[in-house]
């Protein structure tokens, strides 16, 4: 019932549930290995994250967990596999993660500011995209959202006749209440 042309479609409403069903045993096995070694294991759909106090622990765990993954009939995408030391920025499922916060990151903040600027200057009309990105930011990074909200106010004052004033600024105001 969930297959289209012999394959599982990506992004279907059933995808998260199916991923969890398929990975239930995998999760149990990896948790069983990682927990006693003081390694934190998390998974979102098919993205696996291991966190430990040292890079050496992660390197050891990577090899063993690779055998568990293969034993479960799954494959690791080596091009997406990364090990981060304590000094490198950590990006997980598109978010920048540090020891005390999660956010969209400086690059995404700058990109979103540029897109908002393009809306107000008439070089773009991607209102739905921007509003979706703003809603996402509001959900995961209030600090960046507040900066963007302030920027939108600045743009609204600077470009009072822009079409963006009728949609983006109002949309942000609604999200605040």
Residue 99 CA to residue 81 CA, distance in Å, equals 20
Q: Per-residue DSSP letters for 54-75?
A: SHHHHHHHHHHHHHHHHHTT--
85-103 burial, b at 16+ Cβ within 10 Å, e below that, comes to eeeeeeebeebbbeeeeeb
With tokens 């995209």, the residue in question is: 129
Quote the pLDDT of residue 174.
57
Residue 153 CA to residue 108 CA, distance in Å, equals 19
Q: Who has greater pLDDT, 137 or 53? A: 137
Quote the pLDDT of residue 87.
62
What's the pLDDT tens digit per position in 28-65?
999 999 999 998 888 888 888 888 888 888 888 888 99
pLDDT bracket for residue 6 (50, 70, 90): confident
What's the pLDDT tens digit per position in 61-112?
888 999 999 999 999 988 888 777 666 667 777 777 776 778 898 899 999 9
């Amino acid at each position: 019932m969930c297959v289209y042309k012999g394959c599982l479609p990506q992004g279907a409403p059933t995808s998260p549930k199916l991923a969890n069903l398929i990975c239930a045993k995998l999760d149990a096995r990896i948790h069983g290995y990682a927990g006693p070694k003081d390694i934190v294991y998390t998974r979102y759909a098919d993205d696996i994250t291991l966190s430990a106090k040292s890079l050496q622990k992660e390197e050891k765990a990577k090899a063993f967990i690779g055998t568990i993954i293969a034993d479960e009939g799954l494959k690791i995408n080596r091009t997406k596999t990364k090990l981060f030391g304590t000094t490198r920025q950590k990006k997980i499922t598109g978010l920048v993660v540090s020891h005390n916060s999660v956010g969209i990151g400086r690059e995404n903040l700058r990109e979103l500011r540029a897109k908002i600027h393009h809306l107000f200057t008439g070089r773009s009309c991607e209102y739905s995209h921007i509003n979706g990105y703003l809603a996402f930011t509001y959900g995961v990074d209030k600090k960046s959202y507040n900066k963007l909200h302030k920027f939108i106010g600045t743009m609204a004052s600077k470009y009072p006749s822009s079409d963006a004033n009728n949609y983006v600024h109002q949309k942000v105001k609604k999200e605040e209440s």
